[in-house]
Amino acid sequence: MNVQLFTTPSTYEYLFFYIYIFILGTCLGSFFLLLGQRIPRGEDIVKKRSHCENCNHALAFWELIPLFSYILLKGKCRNCHEKIGFVYIGFECLSGILFTSTAFLLKTTNETLVAWTLLSLLLIITVTDITAQKIPNKILLPFCILAIIERFAVQQLNPWWFAPAGFAVGFGVLLLLALLSKGGMAGGDIKLFAVLGIVLGPIYIMITLVLASILALVYSIGELIIKKKLRKHIPFGPFIAIGSWLVYCYATGQFNDAFLLFFGSKI
* pLDDT at 105 (0 to 100): 85
How far out from the chain centre does Cα 168 lie? Answer: 23
Q: In angstroms, what is the C-alpha Rg of the chain?
A: 21
* pLDDT at 192 (0 to 100): 96
pLDDT tens digit string along 115-144? 999 999 999 999 999 998 999 999 999 999
Q: Is the pLDDT of residue 70 over 70?
A: yes
pLDDT tens digit string along 205-217? 999 999 999 999 9
What are phi and psi for residue 83, nearest 5 degrees? Answer: -65, 135
pLDDT tens digit string along 218-240? 999 988 888 877 777 788 999 99
167-180 residues labelled b (16+ CB within 10 A) or e (exposed): bebbbebbbebbee
* pLDDT at 266 (0 to 100): 47
Listed residue (63, 60, 55) closest to 81, CA to CA: 55
Q: How many CA atoms lie within 13 A of 1 on its CB side?
A: 2
pLDDT tens digit string along 167-201? 999 999 999 988 887 766 778 899 999 999 999 99
CA–CA dist 204, 248 (Å, integer): 8
Q: Is the pLDDT of residue 256 over 70?
A: no
* pLDDT at 265 (0 to 100): 47
Task: Name residue 76's beta-bridge partners.
Answer: 83
Q: Is the pLDDT of residue 45 over 60?
A: yes
Letter for the amino acid at 138? K
Domain ranges of the chain: 1-108, 109-267
Q: Is the pLDDT of residue 9 over 50?
A: no
Cβ-Cβ contacts under 8 Å for 39 (sequence gap 6 or more): 45, 128, 136, 138, 139
- Of the two residues 118 and 50, the one the predictor is more confident about is 118
Cβ-Cβ contacts under 8 Å for 65 (sequence gap 6 or more): none
